[in-house]
Chains A and B, each alone.
Chain A
């Protein structure tokens, strides 16, 4: 038995420690520990409920907009306040652009170097890589000339002997087996992705007034002034700018990112066998289509025990089953007490011990849904949509299955999606869906404005008695919910149950492990001192442990560490 401790896990947002016990080349037991204090909600108590979103969007530096929007939705839910259709579409466009940005960065900049060995790129035949690429996609960036340029850059980097940020990669690892040509192709897209990450940011900036930290949110709607006759407001000119950015972004998502997730799956099909873990899935409905939020472009629902045939739908945000089902268990987290409390009654009183695997070992609470650990994220989103017959999810999932079988000949099924590779593929599928939806919600907004509707805000009125609400969002990393209790217009309690809390959950009172922990069981580990395969499965969830302290360190302490005990 070999004990491996990875602290911190690199190429994620924030601090995460993973401990695994390895025997016979695979993981037998695993623990996930968030090593940064997570109790930022306490800062919201006593604050004006109308300004909670301003603070909430500082929970995390990466998902700022998602917390802003979940926060205003929670207060609107408590007030039973409708928001105008324009406000729904503007929020939806911000959420779609943010998600596309996030998914692109996750795939190329946070994950792909677990699969792509850049040190083989100098050996690639660029002409052959271009021909290969031509068979997969119409993307113009795959020309021989462009690939040769990338190859020259990588040769220069390797020739300089200073790999810099690339020096910590597990190059030459036996689990890396792409051809030099495929490595070149993926890495060329890694560099191109930087341009498209920017474009997605521009959409958020135009609509949100500023990015990061949007300025246009309000309890009751958005603060975007709409006037087609004014130069300073949302007008046809600005709508046209938005449209052209979205139209630039779509080909990259559909012809490069989506195709690359299919190619990765076709190249590493063995990874459909690993990383299943918790086969309970939760997705919440999002992208409302009307002011009253009665119908949605992304369906919500629950799947239990890997039983894909039966989806329990979550039809809308006022779903009583959802409200009654969620509780957070602190038995193994560094908070006072044991057992679970519903979020509205949740407490966040720190009780730090050391890492004690049989007792408390993380800052992350253990959220449970009717007592079950749940996996959230693009995979939950895609499985719920696919199994409930949602046409857009079917369109892109089937397209992915067809693509993979055309490249590799293998037939992928929804059952196979419950895996490490399934999570990467689901994120690509979801991004393709969102790029369709970006254009659709732009059209909805434009058409609504052209009818003469320029309202974006309904004034909230706060009663003196206590009210409570929940704000949901199907965020890039999965189901997010903010739970608020408000009295006389101020928060008396605030709890954010974030996607990474679901996925990085520790064991609960009954000793049942969370999704990261269970997904690692039976994960292969060829070389314990280079646990690349563990990183593949952990990265497949897109961990974000943020809401953490961010400072630079010039003191020269050793940073990334893998300890084999």
Chain B
């Protein structure tokens, strides 16, 4: 890594915004964008559920921060950080439950082709529920800011320009408005203004 930090950095959120806590990744990257300002070499993307289509975002990147819901033996809402070895090791068996050919396959293909990312970090949360159109659980919303700040730390530790905005720009959480929220059960938290909770 040069003194000026990596040349290409991707912060990508993965998950289906229509399926409750599965939308953690997109929610966190959108909040990250609204609270922090990064160098132009940092791409911040909500990738939805790309399956193998994640490959272009891993291709030749120096650092990829992947934000996703993760099934792990921990309480819902727990923030979990993994590195690429955890993802690929048999012991952890960190893996996708639905989009089988996803991150692991793309990574392995790109490594073999010589275009893998130099470093991959996974910022995950244990979901409470991934039901259709039910919004995000309170315990997961509470973890979002930790996740956002953790991403910022990951970048600054690697000399990648990333600083807190003087005033947050409003996040575009289009999927958490309208009847999607109206239909959510009472234990679901409001995430219309998650940023102000911390500010």
**Chain A: residues with CB nearer than 8 A to chain B?**
8, 10-15, 36-37, 39-40, 42-43, 45-47, 54-55, 58, 60-62, 64, 101, 105, 109-110, 153-154, 157, 164-166, 190-192, 194, 197-198, 201, 210, 212-213, 546, 548-557, 559-560
Contacts and interface: CB of A to CB of B under 8 A. Distances in A.
B48 A61 contact: yes
Interface in B79-105: 80, 82, 86, 88, 91-105
Contact of A552 (B59, B71, B132): B71
B155 interface: no
B175 A55 contact: yes
B47 A212 contact: yes
A550 B22 contact: yes
B97 A551 contact: yes
B47 A109 contact: no
Nearest to A192: B113
B73 interface: yes
A549 B101 contact: no
Contact of A58 (B73, B114, B124, B175): B175
Contacts of A11: 100-101
A62 B69 contact: no
B199 to A, nearest CB: 28
A365 to B, nearest CB: 16
Contacts of B17: 58
A61 B53 CA distance: 9
Nearest to A199: B56
Contact of A554 (B51, B53, B73, B127): B73
Interface string B165-184: 00000000011001110000
A64 B18 CA distance: 13
Between B18, B22, B100, the greatest number of chain A beta carbons within 10 A of the residue's beta carbon is seen for B100
Contact of A13 (B70, B94, B101, B132): B101
Contacts of B86: 554
A109 B101 contact: yes
Contacts of A109: 52, 101, 105, 109
Contacts, number: 180
A12 B100 contact: yes
A47 B180 CA distance: 10
Interface string B7-43: 0000000111111001000000000000000000000
Interface of B: 14-19, 22, 45-53, 55-56, 59, 68-73, 80, 82, 86, 88, 91-105, 108-110, 112-115, 122, 124, 127, 130, 132-133, 174-175, 178-180
A487 B61 CA distance: 47
Contacts of B109: 109, 165, 190-191, 194
Contact of A549 (B22, B100, B110, B133): B22
A272 B181 CA distance: 52
Contact of A194 (B19, B96, B110, B133): B110
A552 B103 CA distance: 10
25 contacts: A8-B100, A12-B100, A43-B133, A43-B180, A58-B16, A62-B49, A62-B51, A101-B53, A164-B108, A194-B109, A213-B46, A548-B99, A549-B97, A550-B97, A550-B98, A551-B22, A552-B69, A553-B96, A553-B97, A554-B95, A554-B124, A555-B73, A557-B93, A559-B95, A560-B100
B132 A39 contact: yes
B178 A551 contact: no
Contact of B16 (A8, A47, A549, A552): A549
Contacts of A58: 16-18, 48, 175
B70 A552 contact: yes
B70 A554 contact: yes
A212 B50 contact: yes
Contacts of A55: 18, 175
A324 to B, nearest CB: 31
Contact of B124 (A15, A40, A105, A552): A552
Nearest to B122: A552
